[in-house]
């Protein structure tokens, strides 16, 4: 079943920071279910675009609709995993209970299942912030998935993680996508994008310069900036 | 040396006068602390996480009140509670209640200002996550208070330390009346002026021990929180 928050429409999105247009008129329509990976060089505006999409940043101009609704009207159907996981100063299990108090009351076993899914069941009673970086990110993902979001946003969620943790997170993301959640992922990792993406959105200098199916992007990208990026040339 | 030995004898033999003063001091300061914490923590959290016109002025005022001389606080509370003052009809002047009020006025800005700093730091860290999770209002305030519990405990202990060691305000509004409003600090001042160094030294020793205990607790709480990554 496709996500209830499709299509995602971003129209003429402008964001100015420090007098500079960090997003300069982004237009983007995401209609297809599955996994969309946003790629682009550092400072291109990928994370800002994701934050605007999640309603964490109010753009200076432009409009975003998710399934023909405003962001504020569908906040509870979204979840985001940040590059740096922010966990409460509580135990692993209490972090999940806080995120889903209703589930904690009515079906606490579900929380343990969520921890099992990310291989953290045996750490349930440990302080969450004593977990390793990869474990913290897995817990972040488990927390995000508790609400069964229609839209899952991941901002370089696997950066600086070991390969096993990356693969575990990727398999969870893929499984969630298969259940109908629309996944939008920011990543620098071309290997990850190849493994996961159905669609690539390439952002450069605060604008979307290419949007194409993943296969096409990696084999026959027509955009010079995207080609240079894929070739490993630094773009500023 | 004789004076010092006598002072320790008073402590060890649980001298009645000494412990009456000690108990009143602790009672007054603890009640003041409970009232102050009840006011300070929600106020500090609100000021730390909410943006509104005049917020900066409120924080500026609190910071200024932090450094207010205790005798000025004593004078203000005296004027409020004196027979001709607006709250004179309550008849609280020269009672432990007046001393509690003075201590509340004295330590509330301190605990609030310290709490603002603690919660502001936490808010910087949690803001996006809470926004993403839809955690707002009372739920957010409660979460901040719970997650900052160890840092806030040290703020509260700092407030208690300030309250128990205070002399200027409580002597003005309490009057240092024997068996009624005489607390450790006012008794030390009085006994020293009378030349009765034995009782003054005994009380001073207990006060010093309390101060050490509070500081040890602060260090202990910090270490515990640090070890569990809860700081």
- The H-or-E segment that residue A66 falls in is strand A61-66
Give the pLDDT of residue B1: 62
Q: How far is A98 from chain B (nearest CA, A)?
A: 9
Chain A, nearest residue to B131 by Cα:
A56
To the question of domain A8-230 being in CATH 3.60.15.10, the answer is: no
- Predicted local confidence at residue A236, as pLDDT: 52
pLDDT > 70: percent of chain B:
99
Give me the residue from A54, A78, A127 closest to B230, CB to CB.
A127
Q: Note the pLDDT tens digit of each residue in B89-112.
A: 999 999 999 999 999 999 999 999
As beta bridge partners, residue A203 has A208
Q: Does A90 contact B229 at a Cβ distance shorter than 8 Å?
A: no
Distance CA B229, CA B212 (A): 25
Q: Distance between CA B115 and CA B156 in Å, rounded?
A: 9
- Averaged pLDDT, A1-19: 89
Q: B2-29 as b/e, with b when 16 or more CB fall inside 10 Å? A: eeeeebeebbeeebeebeebbebbbebb
> What residues does A158 pair with on adjacent strands?
none
Question: Can you read off the two tokens belonging to residue B223?
Answer: 């270490």
Q: How many CB atoms lie within 10 A of CB B62?
A: 22
pLDDT in tens, B117-168: 999 999 999 999 999 999 998 999 999 999 999 999 999 999 999 999 999 9
Instruction: Tell me, yes or no, if A98 comes closer than 8 A to chain B by beta carbon.
Output: yes
Phi-psi region of B214 (alpha: psi -120 to 50; beta: other; left: phi over 0): alpha
Domain range summary for chain A, segments of one domain joined by +:
8-230
Give the distance from residue B221's alpha carbon to the nearest chain A alpha carbon, in angstroms: 14
Q: Using CA atoms, how far apart are residues B149 and B37, in angstroms rounded to an integer?
A: 12
Over residues A208-233, the pLDDT tens digits come to 999 999 999 999 998 999 999 998 88
In chain B, which residue's Cα lies nearest the Cα of A99?
B133
pLDDT of residue B231: 63
Name which of B128, B134, B148 to mutate to probe chain A: the one with the most chain A Cβ atoms within 10 A of its Cβ: B128
pLDDT in tens, A29-43: 999 999 999 999 999
In DSSP terms, B102 is beta-bridged to none
pLDDT in tens, B73-87: 999 999 999 999 999
Classify strands A61-66 and A69-70 as parallel, antiparallel or unpaired: antiparallel
User: Are the Cβ atoms of A127 and B146 closer than 8 angstroms?
Assistant: no
Residue B132 to residue A80, Cβ atoms within 8 A: yes
- What's the fold here for domain B2-227? MetI-like fold (1.10.3720)
Whether A76 has a pLDDT exceeding 80, the answer reads yes
Question: Could you tell me if B143 lies within 8 Å of chain A, comparing CB atoms?
Answer: yes
Is the separation of the CB atoms in A54 and A80 below 8 Å? yes
pLDDT tens, residue by residue, A166-194:
999 999 999 999 999 999 999 989 999 99
B147 to A88: CB separation less than 8 angstroms, yes or no: yes
Domain layout of chain B by residue ranges: 2-227
Maximum distance among all Cα pairs of chain A, rounded to whole angstroms? 54
As a whole number of angstroms, the distance between CA B17 and CA B12 comes to 13
The predicted complex's ipTM stands at: 0.89
Distance CA B41, CA B87 (A): 26
């Amino acid at each position: 079943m496709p996500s209830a928050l499709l299509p995602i429409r971003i129209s003429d999105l402008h964001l100015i920071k420090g007098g500079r247009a960090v997003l300069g008129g982004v237009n983007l329509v995401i209609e297809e279910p599955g996994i969309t990976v946003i790629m682009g060089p550092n400072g291109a505006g990928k994370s800002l675009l994701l934050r605007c999409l999640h309603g964490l940043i109010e753009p200076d101009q432009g409009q975003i609709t998710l399934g023909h609704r405003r962001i504020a009207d569908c906040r509870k159907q979204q979840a985001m995993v940040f590059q740096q996981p922010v966990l409460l100063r509580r135990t692993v299990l209490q972090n999940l209970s806080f995120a889903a108090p209703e589930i904690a009351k009515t079906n606490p076993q579900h929380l343990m299942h969520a921890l099992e899914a990310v291989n953290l069941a045996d750490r349930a009673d440990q302080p969450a912030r004593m977990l390793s970086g990869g474990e913290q990110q897995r817990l972040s993902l488990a927390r995000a998935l508790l609400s069964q979001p229609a839209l899952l946003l991941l901002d370089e969620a696997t950066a600086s993680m070991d390969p096993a943790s990356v693969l575990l997170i990727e398999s969870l993301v893929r499984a969630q996508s298969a259940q109908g959640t629309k996944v939008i992922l920011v990543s620098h990792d071309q290997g990850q994008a190849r493994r996961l993406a159905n669609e690539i959105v390439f952002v450069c200098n605060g604008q979307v310069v290419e949007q194409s199916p993943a296969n096409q992007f990696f084999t026959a990208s027509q955009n010079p900036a995207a080609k240079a990026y894929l070739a490993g040339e630094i773009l500023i | 040396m004789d004076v010092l030995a006598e002072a320790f004898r008073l402590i060890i033999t649980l001298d009645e006068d000494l412990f009456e003063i000690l108990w009143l001091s602790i009672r007054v300061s603890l009640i003041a602390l409970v009232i102050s914490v009840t006011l300070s923590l929600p106020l500090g959290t609100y000021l730390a996480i909410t943006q509104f016109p005049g917020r900066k002025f409120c924080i500026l005022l609190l910071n200024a009140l932090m450094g207010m001389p205790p005798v000025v606080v004593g004078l203000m509370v005296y004027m409020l509670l004196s027979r001709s003052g607006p709250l004179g009809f309550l008849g609280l002047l020269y009672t432990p209640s007046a001393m509690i009020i003075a201590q509340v006025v004295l330590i509330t800005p301190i605990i609030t200002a310290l709490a603002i700093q603690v919660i502001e730091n936490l808010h910087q860290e949690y803001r996006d996550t809470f926004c993403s999770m839809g955690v707002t209002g009372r739920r957010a305030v409660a979460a901040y208070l719970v997650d900052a519990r160890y840092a806030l405990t040290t703020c509260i202990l700092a407030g208690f330390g300030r309250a128990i060691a205070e002399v200027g305000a409580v002597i003005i509004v309490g009057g240092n009346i024997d068996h009624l409003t005489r607390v450790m600090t006012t008794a030390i001042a009085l006994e020293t002026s009378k030349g009765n160094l034995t009782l003054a030294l005994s009380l001073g020793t207990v006060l010093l021990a309390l101060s050490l205990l509070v500081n040890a607790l602060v260090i202990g709480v910090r270490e515990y929180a640090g070890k569990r990554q809860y700081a």
